[in-house]
Amino acid sequence: TTLYSLQFVNYLIMSAMIFVLQTLANNKIVGHGLTVIFFILNIFLPSMGLDHLLYRYGASTGSAVYSDMNGYGPFLLRVRLLQLYWGLGAGILLTLVYLFWMRGTDNAWAFRLREAKKRFTTPLRSILMLLVLGFLAQGSYLYYNTNILNPYKSEKKQEKDRLHYETTYKEKYDQKPQLMIVKTNAIVDLFPKTLRLKASTLYTFENKTKEPIDEMFVNLPVEKKYLTLSFDRSAKLEMDDTQIDVQTFRINPPVQPGETMSVTYTIDYGYEGIRNGATPTALAGNGTFINNSSYFPTFGYSEQAELSTDKMREQYGLKPKPRMHAITDEKARQWNYLTGHDADWIDFETTVSTDVDQIAIAPGYLQKDWIEGDRRYFHYKMDQKILNFYSFLSARYEVKRDQWNDVKLEIYYNKGHEYNLDTMMEASKQGLAYFSENFGPYQSKQFRILEFPRYQTFAQSFPNTIPFSEAIGFIAKVDPKNPKDLDYPYYVTAHELAHQWWGHQVVSADVQGATLLSETLAQYSALM
């Protein structure tokens, strides 16, 4: 399907451009040269700030990832709309090919123009007019999708936004004392059929400093459509920088040292049409996987939003930026490197709902699950503090269960993907035994692996919960009889399990060498 209905159409569209270049050149060598120049320009246009799909010929007409779990998901609509647009464009180009195609030795442009006029008959005019009108209509529809329904920013504009963020706010807010999240209670409603998300999250902040705090700096999520922020006291919106989705609030009365304040955040968001940039895949018909970094706000100035490469910084007259803070940086040593500067350890609780035929999962222990109408609800709560790092998943799961000592082991997988469940379960048991004996007790009473579609190819360790791409374990073909065939489902499972110690028990400060205590030791642990 991918080859014949997606890639083959893309090849036809590209062939039309090659035909027109060869026809206009009327010289094989020159035509080949023009073709090479065309492909090089098409590749480098985004780096020149020209990255819109409407003028990058053939862009993304064959780019779709297939998942056995969720099919083509959101990719197919985008590809088909672009194939129609550039297919009409290819039709216009082929009309030009027909008009200027030469078979004889006389290739003077005066002669070719006379021949083109003869060939440009009334029926051909009508066909060309329909192609042009269709091309313009489809282009208008794509523009509505990419620039109105969805936000569009060129790479150059995103670069300048990062510059604006750093030069406008760093000096004032980077070192400014801020409130810290100490508790999160999230109510999340997932709608897989319509690719929609609704959430209401109650944050409890604490002033852990020695002075009153009367201002809050908020970085809103890029994926925002309908959202609100409400405070348990007076909070005046002082600044709303819509260019980069930043807001500041003046809090009255100020939050005193040791005092807490509640903030409720709500969002109602769904995918609409197609985008110019990367196709979002977090919300899926079968296999939703979202985390709090994409759809929830962060608080306080974020160094992650700055220009990062030295080359870019030099262009704008900024000093080079160290990859991480020096280990002697006292301020940076107050933060952990995993979850930003707005939280340390938090209490976490959530209620997640989804379609009635799916299972929704988040970090924590299941307190209750129930069905209301066509919705299924799950209430999870952690029994100890966790990092401000959590996820929500939903799919039509089958479940494989086992146990190691008093730890419940569960693998949530798509039906038909049983190939490597035994080796993943064995890795969980052996890892728990080895890590507990050598590093310290496992801190939870459960360990869960959850499959998500292969649109992304990674696994990620959240508290006692491991989202795991179908591409790197669940559909892997491993030959146990071949010593050269790496059993990577086993290895990835062991690596992510190790992060329950290296990352979720021992976590580094936000300084150089931080990954030694997380990634390096997780690698070492998995290899053992």
pLDDT band for position 45 (cuts 50, 70, 90): confident
Percentage of the chain modeled with pLDDT above 70:
98
Inform me whether the pLDDT recorded for 248 exceeds 80. Answer: yes
CA distance 175 to 170: 8
Identical fold at 155-272+281-388 and 396-528? no
Give the tokens for residue 253. 């009365």
Domains of the chain: which residue ranges? 2-152, 155-272+281-388, 396-528
Mean pLDDT for 204-224 is: 92
Q: What residues contact residue 525 under an 8 Å CB cut-off, 6+ apart?
A: 431, 434, 435, 439, 494, 495, 498, 501, 502
CA distance 352 to 167: 39
Compute φ and ψ for 59, nearest 5 degrees.
Answer: -60, 130
Give the tokens for residue 356. 């009635």
Of 1, 44, 38, nearest to 18 by C-alpha is 38
DSSP annotation of 396:
-
Please return the burial class of 364, using the count of CB atoms within 10 Å of its CB with bins 0-12, 13-18 and 19+: buried
Fold for the domain defined by 396-528: Neutral Protease; domain 2 (1.10.390)
Residues 281, 73 contacting (CB under 8 angstroms):
yes
Q: What residues contact residue 428 under an 8 Å CB cut-off, 6+ apart?
A: 402, 404, 409, 447, 449, 493, 497
The per-residue pLDDT for 412 is: 98
DSSP annotation of 285:
S
Inform me whether the pLDDT recorded for 60 exceeds 80. Answer: no
| Gyration radius of the chain over CA positions | 28
Q: Tell me which of 3.40.50.150, 2.60.40.1730, 3.30.60.50, 3.40.50.620 is the CATH number of domain 155-272+281-388.
A: 2.60.40.1730
pTM higher than 0.95: no
Please write the tens of the pLDDT for every residue from 437-495: 999 999 999 999 999 999 999 999 999 999 999 999 999 999 888 888 889 999 999 99
Please report how many Cα atoms fall inside a 13 Å half-sphere around the Cα of residue 36, on the Cβ side. Answer: 6
